[in-house]
Structure 1
């Protein structure tokens, strides 16, 4: 049987199901409505939907076949008038079987015999807790590799990089991911970033920043959509706005909340499976890390994808390139809104998170002062083109480029500029606002 493409929408009293079918006769179509379940059959098509509310067939219910467009338009009445059916845009959820639905909604995620209730109850209670996610930085002892390493979404993958040294790989930066803990991978990440940091490149971009400033000032599609949305509603009401006003929205506003046809096709291809999330906070932060890399690619190429986009996103996202898991908001530096309440609370937290240049781990302010001084000297000279003394520059960056000085980057362990730069007037950091405000 073939599962046809479909769309589901609603108003206060009805549910509208659009089914895309070809070469089907009206007399061969069969329907069945039972509570929240809708079934459609017309050889070779079969569709079963688990709606998120109860529907019934009434005198107002209709089914119209548009042969020219290949559409079947079904209208069903809601059992409770005025009820809002959530998640009608999550097509894979509507296609879930009864077993999958019960598994996703079950209060017993572990189908395992309970041996000691004192040990298992807190785990289940914590997993099923409806309280807000705690975004505070945890304090844990360094983990040990006992059997095998885990990484990826929800730390549920292992064994994918057994032969990583023997195969071409342009994204993974970890030499032995199958035998390293998350803390060890983070340390390796910092070391590789220290070696890759180019102070000349940084100072050049700091002085000649016209192209960068142009990209930063370019309004993104997401910002334009959000600004248009704020004209209609208070931003604090975004999470409930669509639920309360979905019938009265303009097409432009609907496009912000509803999935496009291409996005719906991608949703249909996703596997219909449930996950036992061990660390919800880490999962959210990992998703945000990838979104930050996506946002960089979007802005760098002005909204267009290139043949290098996959590599760019993969190498910038340390979740992908370094297989690391996050445990603090400061590590990810993200800000965006979604409908899920936990992500909204995370974005609110992000607004209050101060990120200074000293948090990066390199003496960026000192490099900037040096670049400004060199630029000023260049403007005063007509005959010669001054350059930074090679011995001075080499001395200033020895602690960054020499592997023996490498340590995980923290505010307490920052490469220091050597004596030739002490005479520079280095004041407080020039940019101390949260990074999200700078962007």
Structure 2
């Protein structure tokens, strides 16, 4: 590659020499022509420099003929230099009409340029004055920095090429070691073979039973097949092949028994929490303070009076409508005051295993016998409740809850407990079953 730099420097001298010749008049080189070689009919300004070594003057173009290259337009910084070397016949361009100034100069191209310079006398020292030589020297000095930088880059590239070659050589050595089984792959294969041998020895050391003889033979055949596959992989590490499928011998009359399952640790089944749906419907039975009624009667043969009134009811709803917020509609009937109550409540709940506590609030109506007149009347109330579900199965839960009602009116016997107040509380408890789906 340093030879290419020397050729480039010499080419710079030759181009400088060609440029120096361009400053001379056509008649000036006539002093080199002998009288016997000068013929007025054939002498042209380009052939008056003919010497015995420069007879093929046809390689030199006349100064008036300038070839225009498509990639060297007018105004290009190197156009004048390109025109000079084309006029001197040093470079003729490519057949497609391009100069290709960005391409590297080959040794053959450099040889052709020197040949043409020799043919037309461009390297003759007699054609260069001392001023021309000084100009050429200054030109070379101006590009000396670039030439030195180029030399440094070439040296760096050579060193990098040597480093890459060393790495390639090391990789080739590792690949060769893989092929011979002396590298890491060989070590791994040897370890695998040793483990298979130990497994085979352990299987053969097992006690032989008459009923398990065939199974031991089949197991031994499978271990032998694995060993053969491992040894095959040791000889061809770059090719991965699936382990061959082995079958029991043709005369086998019994199949290999399924291996027993060995369970390590606690085998007690873990209790899982039942899951339930969001929608539910349920039935309930409850009791409320008799209040202004004084007492109610248990419906049996004796008709024993008690200080509470029983109720029977139902409920439907959903545990989740918006996030953890749900809603429900409940209704109940109390035979003592002949009261029917219905309310709507928003609820919120959480889960602790099988227990799901909840709370709610809402509005309701109670229709019962009027305190002051005959017939029934309706009272409104605010409802608050708190309860808990116990999940029995995925779809059935038992529940218990307490209801607190604050009646805004007290016109019926089924409303507030205090008959003399215009409003007041009425409390109840209930229990029952819910069916989730």
Q: Which one has a bigger Cα radius of gyration?
A: 2
Q: Highest relative contact order (Cα 8 Å, sep 6+), 1 or 2? A: 1
Identify, as 1 or 2, the structure richer in strand.
2
